[in-house]
Chains A and B, each alone.
Chain A
Amino acid sequence: METLIQQFINGLVIGSVYALIALGYTMVYGILGLINFAHGDVLMVGALVALQTMMFLMGIAPGMSPLVMLAIALAVAMVICMLLGFTMERLAYRRLRNAPRLAPLITAIGVSFLLQTLAMIIWGRNYHTFPQLIPTTPLQPIPGVFVTPVQITIVVVSALLMSGLLLLVNRTRIGRAMRATAENHRVASLMGVDTNAVIALTFVIGAALAAVAGVMFASNYGIAHYGMGFMPGLKAFTAAVLGGIGNLGGAMLGGVVLGLVESFGAGYIEHLTFGFLNSSYQDIFAFIILGLVLIFRPTGLLGERVSDRA
């Protein structure tokens, strides 16, 4: 029973990170129909920039309170990632908006590898220890079940950011412009919506969320390196598809469901396959789910739109 609850908590934590990343995928896909393959690497940039900032702050002001330091690092990471998201859209994707179907995706793959290479040049190939600024001593709400303050923070911050985003999209003028652009950007621009600005804004918001997710991901595992964004990126994409791509609520649901499946799967796979497979196969769950969803329910759990754009 304890294991069950423990796996549930682990799944929830990692699931909320996936959900946060998935929002970036789903927003861009909803508006442009583009899989922004480089989104996972924005997460990596966020984590490494935050790491760099923390190192810098520790150097100049060793006595600074850890929470303030984390807040500053997060802010810097978000700003850098927002700039990065904006630049990516402006330089690469905007010019390919009317290109044949495979061109933007191939470009996005190129951007993803370019970001990884640049990160490799700047930060090297090594794994960096990510400073644990929030205490990691586990609490025991139920005997035998451990929760760290980092994990609690991750879930709370994700929930806050997601509700903030929902409010932005559903209740504000900007959000209405975004929804209009997603619906049909030509008509939206006829109604006076500056679609270019809206698309750029979408990338910027997605990148900011990815930066937060990156810092949380690195804090949870305590490490950061140039290739850390790839797998979470792919899994978050799976989460977005699972929830119904283009649908914000779906991305959140998909992220949490995927996190739980992965956590329970990794915990029980050895049992289920009589020891033949073990937890090193954890990563295949996401791909299997992705395959199954796309084959049997391509619209995802909450999606209404059938994506026929190839």
Chain B
Amino acid sequence: MNELVAAVPWLGKRNPTAARWLIIIIAIAAPFIAWQFGRSWVRILDFALLYMMLALGLNLVVGFAGLLDLGYIAFYAVGAYTFAFLASPHFDIHLPFWVILPLGAAFAALAGVMLGFPVLRLRGDYLAIVTLGFGEIVRIFMLNLNHPVNITNGPQGINMIDPISLFGWDLSRNIRIGEDFTINSLFLYYYFFLAAVVASIVFIQRLQISRIGRAWAAMRDDELAAKAIGINTRDMKLLAFALGATFGGVAGCLFGAFQGFVSPESFSLMESIAVLTMVVFGGMGNIAGAVVGAFVLALLPEVLRDVAVPLQQTLFGHVLLDPEVLRMLLLSLAMILMMLLRPAGMIPARARYCHDKHLSATLKREGAK
């Protein structure tokens, strides 16, 4: 929260309390503002919150522990498919949400450890490629496990997934108060996801300053030195994979229930890269960075979709770049330009967590102030 407060332009440094309240008000009021532009914008906000959760989880692995994971979306898939298997007509199992959520998280964590074990000895770029391969293997299995026994229903995916129901309160139904006032289900999901993201932030913040978080930072900055001072790097790496995967799994469960439909298409490499770009864009190793990066990069393509398409219509008479192309263009350019111009991200992680050598000159100047 403090990092997020400090990141508010102008106000953050002058009046932190005001900045804090500003963030809280924006977080609560956001769906009402979005509602003015149309129903779909609230839905986009809901997805932005899911991306935030993913970015927070990936930041744990990439930013805190320094392990570049390009297959992160596989854990999201594990969570989503767990929910789909256990709460849909596909196998005709309908378990309650509070039973599936821990199961989804546990399966994802297990997948994280399964990926973690073989890659413990790898570092940096090799690790990235192997995790990418892991993500692709998971996707290939999702696509093809409809034969000879139909498990995943192949490319069609699984639909009619049960919505989230909290203590008998179905989040997918609008609530009607009185005669002419209804709360849309999208709002209910928004606040539920918001609560989940806030809980994640609190948890991760505590984690970062704990023994574990400090061990990760030490390992990321210099593995050999970390070993020398008695950090069990093997366990720490496995823990990073498992915890990061847990967040992915939880986000996946929420995604499956919210969307009501899962298919391998949602878990392509592009999505892994998108989440990574969010982390990189915001600032690796920084909670506020992950939150802001996810928020900006989840909303910007949608804004572009609304602005750029009509603009192209009026300028050229037809649509030159469709929204999906624009999104890819934006993400890839964000990744390249951030690395070249501002490698520490929009909100650089605070200097005490960073390796001095790795800081850009700009960051050093800012740190000296």
Interface residues of A (CB under 8 A from B): 34-35, 92, 95-96, 99-107, 109-114, 116-117, 120-121, 234, 237, 241, 275-278, 280-281, 283-284, 286-288, 290-291, 294-295, 298, 307-310
B317 within 8 A of A: no
Contact of B339 with A107 in the complex, beta carbons under 8 Å? yes
Given A106-B276, A276-B148, does the pair A290, B343 have CB atoms closer than 8 Å? no
Contact of A287 with B335 in the complex, beta carbons under 8 Å? no
Contact of B340 with A114 in the complex, beta carbons under 8 Å? no
List, in ascending order, chain B residues with CB within 8 A of A308's CB.
123
List, in ascending order, chain B residues with CB within 8 A of A278's CB.
144, 147
CB pairs A–B below 8 angstroms (22 shown): A92-B340, A96-B340, A100-B355, A102-B66, A103-B343, A105-B68, A106-B276, A106-B280, A110-B332, A113-B335, A121-B325, A234-B132, A234-B133, A241-B126, A276-B148, A277-B144, A286-B133, A287-B136, A291-B118, A294-B122, A307-B126, A309-B124
Residue of B129, B147, B325, B333 near A290 (CB, 8 A) is B129
B143's nearest neighbour on chain A, judged by CB, is A280
List, in ascending order, chain B residues with CB within 8 A of A105's CB.
68, 124-125, 128
Residue of A34, A96, A113 near B339 (CB, 8 A) is A96
Contact of A114 with B333 in the complex, beta carbons under 8 Å? yes
Contact of B134 with A287 in the complex, beta carbons under 8 Å? yes
Contact of B148 with A275 in the complex, beta carbons under 8 Å? yes
Contact of A284 with B343 in the complex, beta carbons under 8 Å? no
Interface residue ranges of B308-349 to A (CB < 8 Å): 320-321, 325, 328-329, 331-336, 339-340, 343
List, in ascending order, chain B residues with CB within 8 A of A237's CB.
129
B273 within 8 A of A: yes
Contact of A110 with B118 in the complex, beta carbons under 8 Å? no
Q: What's the minimum C-beta distance from B312 to chain A, rounded to whole angstroms?
A: 12
List, in ascending order, chain B residues with CB within 8 A of A121's CB.
320-321, 325, 329
Contact of A110 with B343 in the complex, beta carbons under 8 Å? no
List, in ascending order, chain B residues with CB within 8 A of A95's CB.
340
List, in ascending order, chain B residues with CB within 8 A of A309's CB.
124
CA distance A284 to B144 in the complex (A): 12
CA distance A284 to B336 in the complex (A): 29
Residue among B129, B276, B329 with max Cβ neighbours from chain A (10 Å): B129
List, in ascending order, chain A residues with CB within 8 A of B14's CB.
none
CA distance A105 to B125 in the complex (A): 7
B326's nearest neighbour on chain A, judged by CB, is A117
Given A237-B129, A287-B136, A294-B130, does the pair A111, B325 have CB atoms closer than 8 Å? no
Q: What's the minimum C-beta distance from A273 to chain B, rounded to whole angstroms?
A: 10
B300 within 8 A of A: no
CA distance A114 to B327 in the complex (A): 11
Q: 0/1 per residue, B176-187, Cβ < 8 Å to A?
A: 000000000000
Residue of B128, B137, B276, B355 near A287 (CB, 8 A) is B137
Contact of A117 with B325 in the complex, beta carbons under 8 Å? yes
